[in-house]
Amino acid sequence: MPNADALLKFFGERVRELRKQKSLSQEDFSFECNLDRTYISDIELGKRNISLVNVTSIASALEVPVAKLFIGFAGDKSPAEKSPSAIYKIREPFQIKCGFTVSGSDVAHAATLTSAQLEALPFTLFQSIDLKSLSGMVGALFASNLARQVGAIVNPIEKGHPDILPRSAANASEPKLRNYPEGLEIKCTVGNVAKGSKLLPGQPRLGALSGITWQAHHREVTGFLGLVIDFAGVERDDKRFPMITAAFFSNELAVEDWGAISGTTGRNTKVTGLRSTGKGKLAAGWIISLREDGYDVKYRKYLPLAAELSEND
């Protein structure tokens, strides 16, 4: 078990690091915490064994969860501090060439960063939005992270296609951005669960999963990078944060790989779901899968041809 001195030293360094990230002097920070400046100095030097009340005050002043002050101590690391290969099985060599190049490691890096960003949000947010909104939010974060990782840009218009574009598209006209000839489309799914599961936000969906599919607004979608997400991230107060659990890719989809378009009446948006033939094409292009036991097994069951997942550990 780590000794007390090591804990105090680690805690002090963590507080100093986060304080500097907020560009606060010790004096300004002590004011925010309602603590004496010399007290803060002793904490950062690892000389002060402080009370839980003061730990909470410091976390509040830094605008972080208390747990974040201890991440990295005794092997407890957030996704952002772990190597992506420690979190995901990664298919290498793997490349997508779409006006820029994307590797399996690039996808894993962007997924890891996305998980860390989701972890930094208040969990009440995930209790307030529906799963469709959650998928959209995760997809947007991932697209931004992946674009930055590979030197590309996010499509600057809301209904532009695809989602990530080469830098050469930066000055393209709006009509061209609506259907740019190069780039990478991103789609997210939380999967389907068995009827009557009644899962709440924060509860992993894996055990109740009954299928995996992705949706589009038309049947002419020929390729995309498909993400799967679940409440499989860091656990706090018996609730787990959402994270990306797998990613797949295909650029060989045909109209026949998509089902009939539905939802064309009332307030519904018309959508089509990927059929088993399309899922097979995507599964053959798996990129990453969460190392946590059970995910690759379940995904092999619902995505034809995904047996490769077990052979690339």
Domains and CATH numbers, the chain: 4-75 (1.10.260.40), 79-311 (no CATH)
Q: What angle do CA 170, 176, 180 make, to 5 degrees?
A: 75
pLDDT of residue 268: 58
CB 223 within 8 A of CB 185: yes
pLDDT bracket for residue 77 (50, 70, 90) = low
pLDDT bracket for residue 1 (50, 70, 90) = very low
Q: How do residues 117-150 score in pLDDT, each as one tens digit?
A: 998 889 999 999 999 899 999 999 999 999 999 9
pLDDT of residue 66: 79
Q: Which residues of 263-281 are buried (b: 16+ CB within 10 A; e: fewer)?
A: eeeeeeeeebbbeeebbbb
Q: What is the pLDDT averaged over residues 217-228? A: 92
CB 291 within 8 A of CB 87: yes
Tell me how far apart the terminal alpha carbons of the chain are, to the nearest angstrom: 31
For a pLDDT cut of 90, what percent of the chain falls above it? 49
pLDDT of residue 312: 44
pLDDT of residue 3: 64
CA–CA distance from 148 to each of 89, 110, 136, 170 (Å)?
22, 9, 18, 14
CB 231 within 8 A of CB 244: no
pLDDT of residue 266: 57
> What is Dmax (Cα atoms) for the chain?
70
pLDDT bracket for residue 99 (50, 70, 90) = very high
Structure tokens, 48: 């002060």
Q: Mean pLDDT over all residues of the chain?
A: 86
pLDDT of residue 182: 95
For strands 224-230 and 186-189, give the pairing. Answer: parallel
CA–CA distance from 311 to each of 125, 129, 280 (Å)?
37, 37, 17
Q: How do residues 141-193 score in pLDDT, each as one tens digit?
A: 999 999 999 999 999 998 889 999 999 999 999 999 999 999 999 999 999 88
Q: What is the pLDDT averaged over residues 104-121? A: 91
**Residue closest to 223 by CA, chosen among 270, 177, 274, 271:** 274
- Quick check: 262 pLDDT over 90? no
Structure tokens, 113: 């960063």
pLDDT of residue 178: 93
pLDDT of residue 84: 81
Q: How do residues 268-312 score in pLDDT, each as one tens digit?
A: 568 899 999 999 999 889 999 998 767 877 887 888 655 454 444
Which position has the higher pLDDT, 105 or 68?
105
Separation between Cα atoms, residue 218 and residue 271, nearest integer Å: 7
pLDDT of residue 287: 93
CB 60 within 8 A of CB 35: no
